[in-house]
């Protein structure tokens, strides 16, 4: 196997490869760009016209998707998987990965779309570098652009595998992309309705990619992900990479649960209280009239929406950041 196929090993060791460019026996070109970043180009005449960005490790302790990207890259380096798409593999926060922590100083996935310019530190610099790498990768004209940012959650979930689909004014969510997510094992998709500061929102809004944050189970250390079943996602990514995807059917999306954002719960001060158990699961239903949170000046968040659920509840975020999202069921009627 080519040495560049061991990108994860190099990243965890903090080493640069001796050779920055290598070719597989099939003529696939692998090029090391910077720490945790590797570009793969198909052999001459084999390019299908798609650019695929695969990122993981934006949170360093979310290891199952990191291991999946390592598996795919090793298969390419051995010649067992022959790409017909350009791919950029990114491990987002190498230092946090080495420490087995979500982040070191700042949550990298809250530093995109201009936020890294408002702060300092190596994680702000890394967010800037990730934007630069994505900009460069998606700079070729007339290409179909796809970005999957792979995560696992810090808590359990009543719907274990789901996706978040970013939003941009004037751009509609794609029924075809939702069908691909369903084929990849996603049971639910949250259709967002405002700009965000996460990585997938940046590539969707600024670079024109079909971009998604994928939540794939619960975060566990390296080597302990036996309970995280990524078989359907691995098959889907393999087919996408080698250009062997089956034709998607009538795009009915039957069985795929769709949600929209009702409100974001913002923590304004140290007085903020989230009135949920510490072990509450994502997609837990909330009764109308329930006082979800309290903050300064007797401000309260009261559940008004019918069928409301909570995802990403986290009262320990910094002031000014999102401490949870209220979501409600929606339909596919407006999709294209």
Catalytic residues: 215
Enumerate residues 6+ apart whose C-beta is below 8 A from 266.
320, 321, 322, 323
Tell me how crowded residue 153 is: count the other CB atoms within 10 A of its CB: 20
The answer to whether the beta carbons of residues 265 and 308 sit under 8 Å apart is no
Q: Please choose, from the candidates 261, 258, 328, 317, the residue with its C-alpha nearest in 3D space to the C-alpha of residue 293.
A: 317
Strand partners for 270: none
Residue 133 tokens, joined: 């790498």
Residue 95 tokens, joined: 């230092």
Count CA atoms within 13 Å of residue 72 on its CB side. 30
- Burial class of residue 269 (count of CB atoms within 10 Å of its CB; 0-12, 13-18, 19+): exposed
The answer to whether the beta carbons of residues 323 and 266 sit under 8 Å apart is yes
Residues 194, 197: Cα–Cα separation, whole Å: 10
Residue 217 tokens, joined: 């189970």
Placement of tokens 């949870």 in the chain: 324
In 3-state terms, what secondary structure has residue 3? helix
Placement of tokens 């889907």 in the chain: 236
């Amino acid at each position: 196997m080519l040495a560049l196929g061991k990108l994860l090993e190099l990243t965890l060791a903090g080493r640069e490869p001796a050779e920055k460019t290598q070719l597989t026996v099939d003529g696939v070109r692998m090029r090391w760009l910077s720490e945790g970043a590797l570009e793969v180009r198909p052999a001459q005449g084999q390019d299908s016209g798609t650019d695929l960005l695969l990122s993981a490790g934006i949170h360093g302790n979310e290891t199952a998707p990191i291991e999946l990207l390592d598996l795919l890259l090793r298969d390419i380096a051995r010649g067992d998987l022959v790409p017909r798409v350009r791919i950029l593999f990114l491990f987002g926060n190498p230092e946090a990965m080495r420490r087995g922590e979500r982040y070191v100083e700042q949550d990298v996935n809250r530093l995109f779309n201009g936020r890294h310019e408002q702060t300092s530190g190596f994680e702000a610099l890394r967010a800037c570098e990730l934007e630069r790498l994505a900009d460069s990768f998606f700079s070729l004209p007339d290409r179909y652009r796809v970005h999957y940012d792979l995560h696992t959650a810090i808590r359990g979930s009543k719907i274990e595998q789901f996706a978040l689909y970013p939003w941009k004014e004037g751009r509609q969510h794609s029924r075809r992309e939702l069908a691909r997510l369903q084929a990849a094992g996603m049971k639910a998709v949250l259709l967002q309705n405002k700009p965000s500061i996460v990585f997938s929102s940046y590539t969707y809004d600024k670079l024109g990619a079909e971009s998604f944050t994928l939540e794939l189970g619960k975060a566990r250390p390296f080597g302990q992900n036996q309970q995280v079943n990524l078989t359907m996602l691995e098959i889907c990514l393999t087919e996408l990479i080698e250009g062997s995807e089956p034709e998607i059917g009538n795009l009915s999306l039957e069985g795929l649960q769709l949600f929209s954002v009702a409100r974001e719960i913002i923590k304004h001060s140290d007085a903020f209280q989230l009135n949920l158990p510490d072990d509450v699961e994502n997609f837990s239903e909330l009764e109308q009239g329930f006082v979800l949170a309290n903050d300064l000046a007797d401000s309260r968040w009261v559940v008004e929406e019918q069928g409301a659920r909570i995802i990403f509840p986290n009262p320990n975020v910094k002031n000014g950041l999102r401490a949870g999202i209220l979501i409600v069921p929606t339909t596919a009627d407006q999709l294209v």
